[in-house]
Amino acid sequence: MPRRAHVFISFFLLALSWPSFTLAVERSDAKDALFLISKAQAYIKANGLEKAFIEFNRLDSPFNTKSDINPKGDLYVYTLDSKGYQSVHGKNPKIRGKVMLEMRDIDGVFLIENMVKICFESKEGRGWTRYRWPNPVTKEVEPKQGYVEKVPGLDLCIGTGIYR
């Protein structure tokens, strides 16, 4: 086979495989989520709640964008109190300042209610819940795990989530 045919076939095969490279999404895992929450807890302790809320609500905060504490950039932080009130949401400003206890996923799962129960009713004051949610990167509804953890001494938990 002539060299020109080899080159053409090589480029053709590369072109066929190209979408698999561009569609690959680097995703955070449970370890990344726990690391981010530990950094958020430390930030609250060091700077106080008022400064933390300002920082966590910034869309360009390192807690909500690609950074040393959010290496893949797909995580963000949110807060909940025992009534489902959200003071912080690192990606959606429309949710801030609202009680979201009745929020459901596409299957009817009360995700905020579940997170409040985990945070305020469990002995550990932290844990994971599963639901399906639109992924802002892929624009598809995907399985997601939300993690929440009580902030010591406050009627507040802080959370993040990973797409599975």
Whether the predicted pLDDT of 131 surpasses 50: yes
What is the model's pLDDT at position 11?
Answer: 35
At which residue do the structure tokens 């060299």 appear? 3
Which domains does the chain carry? 25-163 (3.30.450.20)
pLDDT digits (tens, 9 = 90+) for 7-36: 333 333 333 333 433 346 789 999 999 999
Return d(Cα 123, Cα 11) in angstroms, integer.
59
Residue type at 160 in one-letter notation: T
What is the model's pLDDT at position 22?
Answer: 37
Q: Beta strands of 40-91 (E only): which ranges? A: 78-80, 85-86
What is the model's pLDDT at position 1?
Answer: 57
pLDDT digits (tens, 9 = 90+) for 41-76: 999 999 999 999 999 999 999 999 999 999 999 999
Phi, psi of 65 (to 5 degrees): -135, 175
What is the model's pLDDT at position 17?
Answer: 39
What is the model's pLDDT at position 137?
Answer: 75
DSSP string, 103-144: -B-TT--BHHHHHHHHHHHSSSSEEEEEEEEE-TTT-SEEEE
Signed CA dihedral, 73, 35, 84, 135: sign only: positive
Is the separation of the CB atoms in 53 and 93 below 8 Å? no
pLDDT digits (tens, 9 = 90+) for 98-114: 999 999 999 999 999 99
